[in-house]
């Protein structure tokens, strides 16, 4: 564990404040959006709130630990993290250990709660890429010596995630990997070639499952099938329209009453929009913008390339997750079923997001 020294600074307080505000808003809105649903399902209106508070406490504890452990010591976990990630991705197919829900095998049964493996994989892969690319910076423009291993590892893990299937997480991981290679000094021609190879595969996965085409078409014209494929996005847009400038009041929204599917998870921003209006959504966007800007500032001021790449990768992860969820519920892109960091109900996503912030805070205390 590190102690504050003369050459060390306190962690970025603005990043910490933005995170804690998002976390507080998320906890309040999870209770507002889930109490009726929890009463109907479990006869306990605080069911989801109690579980989320447990995850908040656990996540804050892990964030605090990550803040205190010097970030450069995490390099020792790069390869073990990848091996453990691959093991868990295989373990979800074991009967009684893996949980199948919504037509996908994405969760491990840990008894007390379920664990979504792909959330851990994102953080583990970012750590590995930062470690490997920093080590091979002098060979990064050589495809065989500098890029073959990180691309093989990324391809192997994303291949296992596609099998779940989880197309949204696969896209996020691919984007982060390409951007980290670029930031490490990779050649544009290599990156362009990889993108050219990735796009046909992405299109093939899109065409392989009919529901993905249906979801894409629903995004383009949800009113064409308002009772089935377009139902979710239409209800979300109604929430945004109902909120007006100031909202109908916290707890008084109507769309969460069995109109919005799972209002406390993927569509929690729609509930926020209805109950707090344009002002509330504007505050959320401001806090995310602040968090992302501070994250990239931390990466720019990191004392070494490993810290730079690690901070950049973690910030991009949070930024992409937030953008895809927000744009999806606003009808700007197809819905992907991704959690909104710090706001959506869900233990794995929250814990991994807070872990990412803890690492960013630690890197910020070593700014050059």
Tell which residue, 19, 139, 2, 128, has the closest CA to residue 65: 2
Of 326, 350, 351, give the one whose Cα is nearest residue 268: 326
- Indicate the number of domains in the chain: 1
Q: Give a yes or no: residue 8 inside a domain.
A: no
Domain assignment of residue 1, yes or no = no
Three-state DSSP at 45 gives: coil
- Eight-state DSSP code of residue 77: G
pLDDT at 171: 87
> Could you count the other beta carbons within 10 Å of the beta carbon of residue 116?
21
Would residue 309 count as lying in a domain?
A: yes
Q: pLDDT at position 252, please?
A: 87
Any domain includes 45:
yes
2 occurs within a structural domain = no
* Single pTM value for the model: 0.92
Cis peptide before 165 (omega within 30 of 0): yes
Which parts of the chain sit beneath pLDDT 50? 1-6
Give residue 1's pLDDT. 40
Q: Does 285 map to a domain?
A: yes
| pLDDT at residue 95 in the model | 83
Task: Judge whether 316 lies within some domain.
Answer: yes
With 0-12 CB in 10 A as exposed, 13-18 as middle and 19+ as buried, what is 288? buried
Expressed as residue numbers, the domain containing 312 is 13-364
Is residue 6 situated within a structural domain? no
Residues 6+ apart with CB under 8 A from 148: none
Q: In the prediction, which pLDDT does 8 show?
A: 62
């Amino acid at each position: 564990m590190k102690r504050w020294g003369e050459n060390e600074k306190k962690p970025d307080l603005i990043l910490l404040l933005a995170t804690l505000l998002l976390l507080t808003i998320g906890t309040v809105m999870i209770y507002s959006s889930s109490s009726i649903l929890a009463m109907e399902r479990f006869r306990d209106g605080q069911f989801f709130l109690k579980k989320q508070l447990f995850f908040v406490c656990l996540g804050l504890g892990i964030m605090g630990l990550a803040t205190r452990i010097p970030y450069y010591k995490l390099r020792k976990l790069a390869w073990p993290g990848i091996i453990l990630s691959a093991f868990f991705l295989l373990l979800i197919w074991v009967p009684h250990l893996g949980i199948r829900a919504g037509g996908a095998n994405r969760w491990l049964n840990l008894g007390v709660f379920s664990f979504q493996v792909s959330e851990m994989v994102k953080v583990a892969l970012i750590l590995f890429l930062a470690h490997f690319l920093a080590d091979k910076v002098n060979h990064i423009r050589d495809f065989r010596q500098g890029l073959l291993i990180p691309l093989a590892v990324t391809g192997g893990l994303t291949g296992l995630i596609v099998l779940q299937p989880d197309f949204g997480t696969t896209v996020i991981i691919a984007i982060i990997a390409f951007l980290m290679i670029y930031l490490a000094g990779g050649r544009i021609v290599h990156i362009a070639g990889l993108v050219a190879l990735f796009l046909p595969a992405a299109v093939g996965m899109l065409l392989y499952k009919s529901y993905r085409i249906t979801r894409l078409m629903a995004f383009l014209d949800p009113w064409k099938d308002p009772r089935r494929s377009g139902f979710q996005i239409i209800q979300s847009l109604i929430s945004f329209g109902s909120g007006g400038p100031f909202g109908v009041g916290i707890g008084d929204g109507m769309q969460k009453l069995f109109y919005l599917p799972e209002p406390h998870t993927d569509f929690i921003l729609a509930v926020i929009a209805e109950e707090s209006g344009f002002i509330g959504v504007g505050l959320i966007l401001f806090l995310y913008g602040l968090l992302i800007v501070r994250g990239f500032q931390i990466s720019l001021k990191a004392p070494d390339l490993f810290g730079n790449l690690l901070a950049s990768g973690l910030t991009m992860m949070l930024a992409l997750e937030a953008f895809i969820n927000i744009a999806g519920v606003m009808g700007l892109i197809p819905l992907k079923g991704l959690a909104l960091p710090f706001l959506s109900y869900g233990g794995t996503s929250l814990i991994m997001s807070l872990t990412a912030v803890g690492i960013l805070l630690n890197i910020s205390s070593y700014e050059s």
